[in-house]
């Protein structure tokens, strides 16, 4: 079951000890982003992500060789308490990379300002979401929240930036049962980002519907700074709304989702807004 937009930007050659990643599109600088992130991680958080081995960033197509990690992705899984604890530990370690090192890399391709602007633009288009009363209630509540000042406040980060994946897809979280740990993969959208946004992405990416993930339990294992919990909550609202607005009969996310996803997302939006 694929519950994302189904965009594929690369091909993988998985060998015994290494993975060779060849990019099929790179207009957003994906190869450079990934190589910069893997290099930074190798220096400040080794073994949290694949180790960078070789890169041909100017080749056609660009290519990166990285170490192969053990385990299987958490997408499609019913995340256990042990897995959630390991996810939180991985995110905490990622977000502890020194600020000076993070500030030296480019901003992430997907972050607070882009999410606010795009979600408001989707809402202003009045997308066809059908006639279901629950869906209509969620749209009205979401549109009202988007028209408030709350989203504007999210675009100013009061805390130091972190290195982020900028993609909450649970396919990016690799679980190793023998080690009881989670590692992070697929860094092509990564960069300098807002920690609260990154946590909101993990909690509300549409891949949460492929299996289960208790977002509140995950967050309970993460120490948040003063005022950060409220920002995470509002980013969760924003990201849930963004997915919801793409799920109408002709929406870009609809072909990649099972029946009932729109109604399930409507319930999620109303839960988060209440």
The answer as to whether 158 is a domain residue is yes
Domain count, the chain: 1
Strands 181-184, 10-14: pairing kind: unpaired
CA distance 73 to 170: 7
Q: In whole angstroms, give the CA distance from residue 201 to residue 182.
A: 17
- CA torsion sign for 105, 106, 110, 114 is positive
- Whether 37 is in a domain gets the answer no
Residue 154: exposed, middle, or buried by beta-carbon count in 10 A (0-12, 13-18, 19+)?
A: buried
pLDDT at 1: 29
Does any domain span residue 131? Answer: yes
Tell me how far apart the alpha carbons of residues 139 and 141 are, in angstroms, rounded to a whole number: 5
Q: Give the HSE-up count for residue 171: Cα atoms under 13 Å, Cβ half-sphere.
A: 14
Query: Residue 7: its pLDDT value, please?
Result: 57
pLDDT at 4: 40
> Contact 48/187 with Cβ under 8 angstroms?
no
Q: How far apart are CA 253 and CA 206, in angstroms?
A: 10
Q: Is residue 141 part of a domain?
A: yes
CATH number at residue 187: 3.90.1200.10
**Cis status of the peptide bond prior to 251, with omega within 30 of 0:** no
169 in any annotated domain: yes
pLDDT along the chain (274 residues), means of 10: 52 92 92 97 98 96 96 95 98 98 96 98 94 96 98 97 97 97 97 98 95 96 96 98 92 83 96 97
Which DSSP category does 212 fall into? B
> Is 219 part of any domain?
yes
Q: Is residue 86 part of a domain?
A: yes
DSSP H helical ranges for the chain:
30-44, 81-94, 99-103, 112-124, 133-146, 150-154, 195-204, 215-220, 228-244, 261-273
Say what the pLDDT of residue 186 is: 95
Give me the domain span that covers residue 211: 70-273
Nearest to 96 by CA among 165, 163, 159: 163
Strands 63-67 and 191-193: unpaired
Give, as one character, the DSSP assignment of residue 170: G
Inside any domain, residue 90: yes
């Amino acid at each position: 079951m694929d519950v994302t937009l189904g965009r594929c930007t690369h091909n993988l050659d998985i060998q015994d000890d290494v993975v060779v990643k060849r990019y099929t599109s790179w207009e957003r600088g994906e190869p450079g982003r990934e190589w910069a992130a893997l290099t930074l991680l190798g220096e400040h958080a080794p073994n949290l992500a694949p180790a960078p081995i070789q890169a041909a960033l100017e080749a056609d197509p660009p290519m990166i060789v990285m170490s192969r990690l053990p385990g299987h992705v958490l997408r499609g899984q019913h995340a256990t308490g042990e897995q959630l604890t390991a996810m939180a530990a991985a995110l905490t370690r990622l977000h502890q990379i020194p600020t000076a090192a993070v500030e030296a890399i480019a901003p992430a391709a997907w972050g607070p300002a882009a999410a606010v602007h795009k979600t408001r633009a989707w809402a202003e288009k009045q997308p066809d979401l059908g006639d279901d009363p629950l869906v209509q209630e969620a749209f009205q509540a979401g549109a009202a929240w988007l028209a408030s000042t709350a989203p504007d406040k999210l675009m100013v980060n009061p805390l130091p930036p972190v290195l982020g994946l900028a993609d909450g897809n649970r396919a990016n979280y690799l679980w190793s049962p023998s080690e009881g740990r989670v590692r992070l993969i697929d860094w092509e959208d990564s960069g300098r980002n807002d920690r609260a946004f990154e946590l909101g992405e993990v909690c509300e990416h549409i891949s949460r519907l492929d299996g289960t993930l208790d977002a509140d339990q995950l967050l309970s294992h993460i120490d948040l700074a003063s005022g950060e919990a409220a920002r995470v909550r509002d980013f969760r609202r924003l990201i849930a709304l963004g997915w919801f607005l793409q799920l109408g009969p002709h929406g870009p996310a609809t072909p990649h989702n099972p029946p009932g996803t729109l109604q399930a997302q409507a319930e999620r939006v109303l839960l988060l807004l209440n």
